[in-house]
Structure 1
Amino acid sequence: MSAHTIYDCAVLGSVIRYSDGTAKPPVRFRKKLSTWESRNGSGRLIKKEPPRSRATYTSPACFTLHEGDLGGGGVIVVSVRRTWSVESDLRFQIVERPAIGMVRVLQDVGDSPELLHLARDREAAERWLASNTYSRAYLDEVTADEVGADVIEGRAAA
């Protein structure tokens, strides 16, 4: 799939894989492997931003994937996120969609919501929100209608 298709079809909380189609180089080639890893990976879709037009600049629509957190002892030091434009030349694939009954903890930031946490149910989402206070956070449950629309419109995970 193209980046534009991911922007249009994937829902927040989906796991997305991206690739440039090249083979992974051997570990002994550290620089080549590092470059390959920057263009091949996966993450959870946490934000989709519409295109913006300013007086001196126009940016295309984009989406952000959360690839993981670095830290220890329950303390997150760095959150690894990558933002891709819909004009990206990489190939994308929806690996997993949120299941019915899961609850997204979202926060309004700018023009679109950002996924803060994906919980297995409402109780778990409320517990997470109680221990992680955000001023504009709200809960959004994944419904059967949302999952059904994906199947009807042919957006099932590949």
Structure 2
Amino acid sequence: MNLEIDLLDETSELSEKDTAYIAKLLNFAAKMEEIDEGTEISLTFVDNHKIREINKEYRNKDSATDVISFAMEEMGEGEMAIVGVEMPRVLGDIIISVEKAKEQAEEYGHSFMRELGFLAVHGFLHLLGYDHMTPEDEKEMFSRQKDILDAFGLQR
């Protein structure tokens, strides 16, 4: 496995098989993105109430969303990079609403695991600096998501 994933399911709704599948997908994505062995991420599954609180606190948006990423490698104003020979690369945190994933899977007409996988890869790519603020960036990010999901076998 490429990534060290600190995985927490606060909802207790996912099976061990579900979380192992998402971990396998993220490791597959890390391999496709040529991420160094031992790179760390945190992945937390929450409910709509919790992700709404996080969205409100950190993004000033008082609504539930599907996925939020907090990239550790993005430097904020006045922050200094911590570097060291033996320090692992820490990409950041991905938080996914299991409730939203279920709602969206039904809305889009595909499986819950396809939606959960899409959200995990979407969040992971944000940690790597991909974004969708401009049409060009959106095209690049969404194309990469599709490439990863298709290659893994999670087509729509």
TM-score, normalization by structure 2: 0.27
For the pair shown, which has the larger CA radius of gyration, 1 or 2?
Answer: 1
Higher strand share: 1
Higher helix share: 2
